[in-house]
Amino acid sequence: MNSNTEKRIALISVHGDPAIEIGKEEAGGQNVYVREVGKALAQLGWQVDMFSRRVSPEQELVVHHSPLCRTIRLTAGPEEFVPRDNGFKYLPDFVKQLLQFQQENNITYPIVHTNYWLSSWVGMQLKEIQGSKQVHTYHSLGAVKYKAVDTIPLIATKRLSVEKQVLETAERIVATSPQEQQHMRSLVSTKGYIDVVPCGTDIQRFGSIARQAARAELGIDQDAKVVLYVGRFDPRKGIETVVRAVNESELRNSGKLKLIIGGGSTPGNSDGRERDRIEGIVQELGMSDIVSFPGRLNQDILPSYYAAADVCVVPSHYEPFGLVAIESMSSGTPVVASDVGGLQFTVISEKTGLLAPPKDVAAFKTAIDRILLNPEWRDELGLAARRHTTEKFSWDGVAVQLDGIYNQLLTQQVKEAALISK
Ligand code: UDP
């Protein structure tokens, strides 16, 4: 094999740095996805380079995750945090830096797997300039998002047109759920090739500790009734719904009910503002004694939080996939989730948890109480949730499916090259 056909791949995630701390503003599922896919692909023999934009002069330029997998940070635009809606203007520079990196290291990526629409634009340039095959995962679709927000950003028109273009031109689009695939078809374009490959989770890590031990570690009473939220502070995550639902719970005055809201935030930034708003509601409802905010939960402590909970709530207004739901299920904890998007695919209502209409406080209250008031059923749901996740959503399984797609594209490329040389 020459250097263009070996198993070498670039995962491009301009704004979602796979090596950064997860759980704060704009660092969530996409960062985890890219990092875990990269590591799992390396296990299958791929040489994986993950490209992201450097956002601080203190950040290392290269982070090694394993011998074949590294994150490379390119300097494109200011070395500071830039909200993703303002990131488009730095992309030409990002492409330039990536091409320069290839030149300096004497490599060309035969395949680029791009993440989110900003990176899809970078991928389309690489395809045009050097014939790289492009695989793309959206992580979020503008066409869905803009239906649900009050103010549409200036960049919307650009985003929608780039999202359509990549669907129609990439060699392969990866939808993470059949629901996302359907949205692409009904809202973006009927052209293009879509495969459904779900997101995954670390089934060893999430499921490594039992409830009793986890509660002892976190200092939670063994007979407490624990409701957990994990995720970013963003109004679209629907944290208000779970707060109000827990306030209505039949166990509200039992002295046992506890709501943990885990996730990081920076005062003054948009996630800090949402956290203040949620804390305001907690105070207004007189819930301060039963609600705790442990801040950003790192990967080492997260499994204990999931395991300690009786139920994990994912009240998002919309969710293309929702990693938190499968992390919780992998930990043996049932999920009460909004009946939307990827959550309809991962959570089997009445088997691994319950689904409720988004923003519907009464429905969330009923679902949470059904689980809290019936510990035996809770355990049954938890066991089924663990089984379901290990069967369907391990990163290794996800990587095998992606490996299949990339191999097809490489074989196709070799055939194309042979035809040209004839
Ligand atoms: N997360 C974390 N620590 C936190 C909050 C969240 O590690 O304090 C992780 C969480 O475990 C999950 C990801 O951030 O892997 C969130 O992904 P999800 O798909 O649920 O939501 P997104 O952030 O992509 O909207």
Cβ atoms 269, 307 nearer than 8 A: no
Span from the CA of 231 to the centroid of ligand 1 (angstroms) = 5
Verify whether ligand 1 is closer than 6 Å to residue 143 (CB atom): no
Span from the CA of 293 to the centroid of ligand 1 (angstroms) = 15
Verify whether ligand 1 is closer than 6 Å to residue 231 (CB atom): yes
Q: Tell me the DSSP string of 326-363.
A: HHHHHTT--EEEESSTTHHHH--BTTTEEEE-TT-HHH
Verify whether ligand 1 is closer than 6 Å to residue 133 (CB atom): no
Verify whether ligand 1 is closer than 6 Å to residue 263 (CB atom): yes
- Which CATH number goes with the domain that contains 51? 3.40.50.2000
Span from the CA of 330 to the centroid of ligand 1 (angstroms) = 15
- Its pTM stands at 0.89
Verify whether ligand 1 is closer than 6 Å to residue 227 (CB atom): no
CA-to-CA separations, 89 to 37, 76, 77, 125, 416, in angstroms, rounded: 28, 9, 8, 14, 34
Q: Whose CA is nearest to atom 1 of ligand 1?
A: 23
Q: Kindly state whether residues 402 and 386 are assigned to the same domain.
A: no
Residue 1 counted as domain residue: no
Q: Kindly state whether residues 285 and 335 are assigned to the same domain.
A: yes
* Residue 360, C-beta contacts closer than 8 angstroms, at least 6 positions apart: 241
Which of 116, 239, 300, 324 to mutate for ligand 1's pocket (most ligand atoms within 8 Å of CB)? 324
Span from the CA of 263 to the centroid of ligand 1 (angstroms) = 8
- Three-state DSSP class for 229? strand
Residue 206 counted as domain residue: no
Q: Kindly state whether residues 388 and 260 are assigned to the same domain.
A: yes
Q: Kindly state whether residues 117 and 219 are assigned to the same domain.
A: no
Range of the domain at 382: 211-392
Verify whether ligand 1 is closer than 6 Å to residue 262 (CB atom): yes
Q: Kindly state whether residues 67 and 162 are assigned to the same domain.
A: yes
Span from the CA of 26 to the centroid of ligand 1 (angstroms) = 10
Q: Kindly state whether residues 413 and 383 are assigned to the same domain.
A: no
Span from the CA of 230 to the centroid of ligand 1 (angstroms) = 7
Verify whether ligand 1 is closer than 6 Å to residue 29 (CB atom): yes
CA angle 410, 416, 417 (to 5 degrees): 90
Verify whether ligand 1 is closer than 6 Å to residue 90 (CB atom): no
Residue 2 counted as domain residue: no
Q: Kindly state whether residues 69 and 192 are assigned to the same domain.
A: yes
* Residue 156, C-beta contacts closer than 8 angstroms, at least 6 positions apart: 142, 146
Q: What is the mean pLDDT of each run of 10 residues along the chain (422 residues)?
A: 68 95 74 96 97 95 97 96 93 98 97 98 98 97 86 92 98 96 96 96 95 98 98 95 98 97 90 96 98 95 98 95 96 98 96 98 98 98 97 94 96 76 67
Which of 115, 199, 203, 232 to mutate for ligand 1's pocket (most ligand atoms within 8 Å of CB)? 232
Span from the CA of 205 to the centroid of ligand 1 (angstroms) = 15
Residue 415 counted as domain residue: yes
Residue 347 counted as domain residue: yes
* CA–centroid distance for 32 within its chain: 6
The tally of domains found in the chain comes to 2
Verify whether ligand 1 is closer than 6 Å to residue 22 (CB atom): yes
Span from the CA of 232 to the centroid of ligand 1 (angstroms) = 7
Q: Kindly state whether residues 239 and 359 are assigned to the same domain.
A: yes
Residue 125 counted as domain residue: yes
Q: Kindly state whether residues 401 and 387 are assigned to the same domain.
A: no
Q: Kindly state whether residues 167 and 189 are assigned to the same domain.
A: yes
Which numbered atom of ligand 1 lies nearest the CA of 321?
19
How far apart (Å, rounded) are the C-alpha atoms in residues 27 and 109?
A: 26
Which numbered atom of ligand 1 lies nearest the CA of 325?
20
Which of 17, 22, 145, 293 to mutate for ligand 1's pocket (most ligand atoms within 8 Å of CB)? 22
Sign of the CA dihedral with 354 first, then 357, 362, and 364 last: positive
Q: Kindly state whether residues 247 and 127 are assigned to the same domain.
A: no
Residue 3 counted as domain residue: no
Which of 24, 25, 32 to mutate for ligand 1's pocket (most ligand atoms within 8 Å of CB)? 32
Which numbered atom of ligand 1 lies nearest the CA of 319?
25
- Three-state DSSP class for 174? strand
Q: Kindly state whether residues 387 and 403 are assigned to the same domain.
A: no
Verify whether ligand 1 is closer than 6 Å to residue 321 (CB atom): yes
Residue 205 counted as domain residue: no
pLDDT at res. 422: 65
